[in-house]
Structure 1
Amino acid sequence: MRILIIDDHAVVRRGTMNIIADRFPECAFSEAGTLHEARLVLESATFDLIILDISLPDGSGLDFLELVHHARPGLPVIVLSMHHETEYAQRCMSLGARGYLSKNSAPEELEEAMTSVLDGGMFVSPSLLGTGERMDALDGLSRQEREVARRLGRGETMTQIAAALGVSVKTASTYRTRAMRKLGIATTSALIRYLLERRIPGL
């Protein structure tokens, strides 16, 4: 598995690689400290995952995120940022990121995010989801629909959700479809944005 680490601090890049190597020892790493370097590296090799910082010395990581989304569709990106505000996570997910973590996150969260994202799911640091009042629309969901929505918001795949609920993937997918229809949501990424915007508790 080839991973590209983009961060302007060499210590952060090295620390991130060490954390990942402990969990995924067969990974091969490339790194970049600027937006320009990241573009050159992306053009010269193929990758299975990108770990991206937002704040780079010659531009925004958001610009690179848009580039990846259009030039390498399907290439998963996890944003690892110093910004702990919900609006940054919302913006990154809307631009195609599959995961968002604060740099204050525990190493275990990065491992969990990678596992979810590489398995086709999505992941947002639970600390960003916060607490608050539950929206009336969620109260209209059945227990199963609510549980599927909650687990989707945490980045679990449908296979993981089905196993946790003790049902088939087809049945879990039906709960997902019903929940999204009731909430007026069409995609999993839109569901995560919905949960982030409303700071749904229990995630």
Structure 2
Amino acid sequence: MTPASLAVLVVDDHAVVRRGVMDIIADMPLSVAFLEAGTSAQALALLGGHPCGLVILDLSLPDESGFETLAGIRRMHPELPVIVSSMHVEAEYARRALALGANGYLGKNAAPGELALAINLVLAGGTYVSPGLAGELTASDSPAGSSRLSPREREVMHRLARGEKLTDVAAAMRVTVQTAGTYRARIMKKLGLTTTADFFRYALEKGGMLP
């Protein structure tokens, strides 16, 4: 591994799945060195002895739950980016993974391009949730406070919460950055939020998406 390489740990009990994930990442414009683990114990042992820049984690592991593995990773490396790739595409799984500190969640049925998108967003400091799941999370909780938001304010909140920069939000909505900022200020005022951290905590607790 060269000094500029990104060490990626792929954790899945199926070797063919690990190979598929690594092939997708290998096609990305990144300098990558791979680590593999088929169990939670192997994953945590590797993380204890090797510097790592990204973890792709399955939830169904033979020795313990992927949720327990995720909690263990967070205890060892609070800031290490972790993307969960799971066969479980129900909202409650995604919500629990995000609450435990996952930076991304997508189903194993996701297209290769979606995994690449998730990786790019997470490595840039954001959080990714598959669009279908994100919609389920939002709809299932229907936060009372956000019901006071206008449709445009809702759109701004959802875009910011899933990791888009304010400039990107403005471009996507065809408004100025100043207008997008005004929407954000209105959202926070209506929801009684005072800091950006409060905003993203609210989005997670109410079933939204984090950056």
Query: Within 5 A, what are the aligned runs for 1:38-187?
Result: 38-130=43-135, 137-165=145-173, 166-168=175-177, 172=180, 175-183=183-191, 186-187=198-199
Q: 2:203 aligned to 182, 191, 203, which one?
A: 191
Contact 2:158 2:208 in 1 (8 A): no
Q: Which amino acid aligns with 2:51?
A: T
In structure 2, the CA distance between the partners of 1:31 and 1:121, relative to structure 1 (3 Å rule), is: same
- What is the CA–CA distance in structure 2 between the aligned matches of 1:67 and 1:157, rounded to whole Å? 30
TM-score by length of 1: 0.82
Shifted more, 103-112 versus 121-130: the winner is: 121-130
RMSD: 2.7
Contact 2:126 2:163 in 1 (8 A): yes
Alignment gaps of 5+ in structure 1: 198-203
* Equivalent residue pairs, number: 196
TM-score by length of 2: 0.80
- Determine whether 1:27 maps to 2:35: no
- What is the CA–CA distance in structure 2 between the aligned matches of 1:180 and 1:72, rounded to whole Å? 31
- Determine whether 1:7 maps to 2:12: yes
Identical residues among aligned pairs (%): 48
Alignment gaps of 5+ in structure 2: 1-5
- What is the CA–CA distance in structure 2 between the aligned matches of 1:121 and 1:172, rounded to whole Å? 19
User: Shift of residue 147 of structure 1?
Assistant: 2.1
**Partner secondary structure for residue 28 of structure 1:** strand
- What is the CA–CA distance in structure 2 between the aligned matches of 1:4 and 1:159, rounded to whole Å? 32
